[in-house]
């Protein structure tokens, strides 16, 4: 496989080389966003002359970036005009998700963004370092799908912690061994892929932008099975902070006059421990926090839902005053378990921000979906930037 460089790599200099590169990128861009194209269709989309389009396609075919998938029967396309498609197997994007206390998930998508495989496993992180767990599951998933590991060009990892790209370290993490790793460096030494690491709530926030132009600012309040956090999606990109710790709400003291190491944080006051405590007070139990909330909805324990909704609404008012987002999404397993019964109570109690509160639009595992979406976008950018190497 030809090496795929960074999206920031420079365009080759020289007027003819530059023009050729621009034409190839334009053609490849349209091939990525259409199932198939004929030369005539490519000319209409790019403005290229027929001979130029033929030359461009010849180079893309030779480089393995495009394939011929048949011939057109449409008269306007020309007699037996060849039909082209991007070579979806040219390179792959992979995403891995680490979960507290013992979970790893890996997904692989082709260049068209179609998921090829997904698998998960439970891991004793006290015995198996997190980077080894990711590498093992990625290798197994690729082999099971018949994908060579060296065809995976990018790997994006979502972690329950704050990733500092400058030092390649992960803080605010409770998975054993995660804070001691240089995960990006470790995995890049073993793989031919470029590795990027994200906070898990930020990955879930990116998933909320599916089907949009990725320009809407929004804030996600994540109420997860194991913890809470905030994702701040800007009009372009995410607010991550200097050391990747933006949104680590669970570590903030819940009361300004009680800031000692043993005093309650937002994790205690709003997260799974709070749900368990409120459940006990109202006689509602469950295997975990989402189960407690689901039981409260099922039994009509509106007193408990009201109490918990008041805490969420207080948090949303704080986020609203600080960030003033146009949309505030309640996401995560706890929020999903509460459904409309919890959402409506939060909206009623959130004051002027109540009209901005919305349920998650993501069906499925938001963190894994966001990580794979981000990995695929990275792969496309790198392929488009690199183009045909000469």
CA 87 to chain centre: 24
Q: Provide the whole-model pTM.
A: 0.91
- Determine the Cα–Cα distance for residues 345 and 192; give it in Å rounded to an integer: 49
β-partners of residue 48 are none
Position 95 pLDDT exceeds 50 = yes
What CATH code is assigned to 15-87?
1.10.10.10
β-partners of residue 104 are 98, 121
HSE-CB at 372 with a 13 A cutoff on CA atoms is: 22
- Whole-number pLDDT of residue 17: 81
Q: CA of 202: how far to CAs of 78, 157, 239, 275, in Å?
A: 48, 11, 9, 23
Position 9 pLDDT exceeds 80 = no
How much is the average pLDDT of 264-289?
A: 97
What per-residue string of b and e applies to 162-173 under the rule 16 or more CB within 10 Å gives b?
bbbeeebbbbbb
CATH level 3 topology of 211-361? Nucleotidyltransferase; domain 5 (3.30.420)
Q: At 278, list the tokens.
A: 């409120």
Count of other CB atoms within 10 angstroms of residue 193: 24
What CATH code is assigned to 92-205+367-381?
3.30.420.40
pLDDT over 90, % of the chain: 85
- Whole-number pLDDT of residue 204: 97
- Determine the Cα–Cα distance for residues 117 and 376; give it in Å rounded to an integer: 14
> How confident is residue 2, by pLDDT bands cut at 50, 70 and 90?
very low
Q: At 276, list the tokens.
A: 């368990």
C-beta of residue 94 within 8 angstroms of C-beta of residue 154: yes
pLDDT in tens, 293-338: 999 999 999 999 999 999 999 999 999 999 999 999 999 999 999 9
- Whole-number pLDDT of residue 291: 98
Mind giving me the DSSP string for 82-123?
Answer: EEEEE-TTS-EEEEEEEETTTEEEEEEE-TT--EEEEEEEE-
How much is the average pLDDT of 353-375?
A: 96
C-beta of residue 363 within 8 angstroms of C-beta of residue 143: no
Q: 150: which residues sit within 8 A by CB, 6+ positions away?
A: 1, 192
Closest CA to 307 of 334, 278, 343: 278
Q: Domain map of the chain by residue range?
A: 15-87, 92-205+367-381, 211-361
Give the DSSP H/E element, type plus range, for residue 179.
none
Average predicted confidence (pLDDT) for the chain:
92
How much is the average pLDDT of 157-182?
A: 96
Domains 92-205+367-381 and 211-361 share a fold: yes
- Whole-number pLDDT of residue 79: 47
Long-range own/partner contacts, residues 46-53 (CB < 8 A, 24 or more apart):
48/23, 52/23, 53/27
Position 3 pLDDT exceeds 60 = no
- Whole-number pLDDT of residue 261: 82
- The gap between the terminal CA atoms of the chain, to the nearest Å, is 14
C-beta of residue 267 within 8 angstroms of C-beta of residue 248: no
**What is residue 324's three-state secondary structure?**
coil
pLDDT in tens, 38-73: 999 999 999 999 999 999 999 999 999 999 998 876
Ramachandran area for residue 162 (φ above 0: left; ψ -120 to 50: alpha; else beta): beta
């Amino acid at each position: 496989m030809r090496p795929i460089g960074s999206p920031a790599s420079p365009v080759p200099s020289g007027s003819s080389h530059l023009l050729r590169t621009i034409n190839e990128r334009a053609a490849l861009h349209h091939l990525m966003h259409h199932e198939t194209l004929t030369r005539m269709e490519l000319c209409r989309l790019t403005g290229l002359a027929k001979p130029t389009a033929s030359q461009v396609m010849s180079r893309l075919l030779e480089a393995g970036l495009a394939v011929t998938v048949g011939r057109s029967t449409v008269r306007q396309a020309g007699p037996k005009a060849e039909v082209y498609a991007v070579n979806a197997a040219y390179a792959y994007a992979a995403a891995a998700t680490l979960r507290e206390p013992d979970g790893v998930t890996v997904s692989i998508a082709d260049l068209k963004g179609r998921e090829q495989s997904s698998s998960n496993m439970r891991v004793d992180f006290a015995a198996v370092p997190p980077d080894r767990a990711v590498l093992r599951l990625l290798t197994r998933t690729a082999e099971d799908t018949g994908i060579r590991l060296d065809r995976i060009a990018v790997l994006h990892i979502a972690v329950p912690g704050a990733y500092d790209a400058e030092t390649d370290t992960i803080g605010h993490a409770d998975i054993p061994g995660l804070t001691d790793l240089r995960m990006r460096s470790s995995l890049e030494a073993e793989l031919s892929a470029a590795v990027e690491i994200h906070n898990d709530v930020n990955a879930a926030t990116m998933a909320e932008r599916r089907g949009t132009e990725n320009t809407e600012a929004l804030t996600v309040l994540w109420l997860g099975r194991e913890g809470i956090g905030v994702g701040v999606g800007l009009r372009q990109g995410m607010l991550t902070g200097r050391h990747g710790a933006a949104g680590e709400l669970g570590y903030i003291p819940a009361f300004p006059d009680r800031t000692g190491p043993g005093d309650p944080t937002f994790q205690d006051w709003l997260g799974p421990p709070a749900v368990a405590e409120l459940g006990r007070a109202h006689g509602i139990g469950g295997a975990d926090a989402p189960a407690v909330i689901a039981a409260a909805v099922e039994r009509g324990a509106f007193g408990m839902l009201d109490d918990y909704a008041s805490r969420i609404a207080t948090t949303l008012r704080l986020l609203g005053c600080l960030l003033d987002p146009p949309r505030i999404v309640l996401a995560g397993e706890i929020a999903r378990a509460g459904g409309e019964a919890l959402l409506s109570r939060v909206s009623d109690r959130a004051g002027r921000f109540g009209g901005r509160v919305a349920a998650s639009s993501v069906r499925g595992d938001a963190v894994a979906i966001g990580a794979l979406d981000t990995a695929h976008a990275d792969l496309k950018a790198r392929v488009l930037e690199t183009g045909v190497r000469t």
